Amino acid sequence: MKFGRKARASEIAQQYADNIKGKVAIVTGSNSGIGLQTAKVLASHGAKVIIPCRTMEKARGAMETIKKDYPQADLVPLQLELDSLASIRAFVKRFLELNIRFIC
Ligand SMILES: NC(=O)c1ccc[n+]([C@@H]2O[C@H](COP(=O)([O-])OP(=O)(O)OC[C@H]3O[C@@H](n4cnc5c(N)ncnc54)[C@H](OP(=O)(O)O)[C@@H]3O)[C@@H](O)[C@H]2O)c1
């Protein structure tokens, strides 16, 4: 299936809905723009979506926004500053501690 450059995330996700349900997605930049929309669409199709943002406040804000449209969304807020290797390591540690089955 080919999508034009104006294809909406929701149209693409609909096409792959069977593959999205039950998967785990880590969506960086999920508090705004493309990241927020991606997180929302994946959650709307039943993926568990990790919401890593620079601050927990931003992550919780993104969760609120997504849950307004999809109250059943399965979302996990975490802190992640991609400019910092220490923050990336801390994020990985917290993510692994959640024991979420994750296939790359
Ligand atoms: N190829 C294309 O056609 C196309 C079209 C549009 C966009 N893009 C690219 O896609 C990307 C996203 O675009 P957008 O419009 O969604 O941008 P945006 O609204 O500015 O979102 C960027 C996201 O990344 C986060 N972020 C930035 N630096 C970070 C860091 N060091 N650690 C953690 N999070 C960080 C921001 O968090 P904060 O809110 O904390 O800053 C924000 O959530 C950009 O790189 C843009 O250039 C490409």
Q: Where are the domains of the chain?
A: 20-97
End-to-end CA, the chain: 23
Q: Please state the pTM of the whole predicted model.
A: 0.91
Per-residue confidence at 25, pLDDT binned at 50, 70, 90?
very high
For residue 44, how many other CB atoms are within 10 A of its CB? 20
Q: Is the distance from the beta carbon of residue 33 to the nearest atom of ligand 1 less than 6 Å? A: yes
The whole-number average pLDDT for the span 49-58 is 98
Q: Is the distance from the beta carbon of residue 6 to the nearest atom of ligand 1 less than 6 Å? A: no
The whole-number average pLDDT for the span 52-73 is 98
Strand order in the sheet with 48-53: 24-26, 48-53, 74-79
Distance 28 CA to ligand 1 centre (A): 9
Q: Is the distance from the beta carbon of residue 37 to the nearest atom of ligand 1 less than 6 Å? A: no
Say if residue 102's pLDDT is above 80: no
For the structural domain made of 20-97, what CATH number should be given?
A: 3.40.50.720
DSSP lists the bridge partners of residue 62 as none
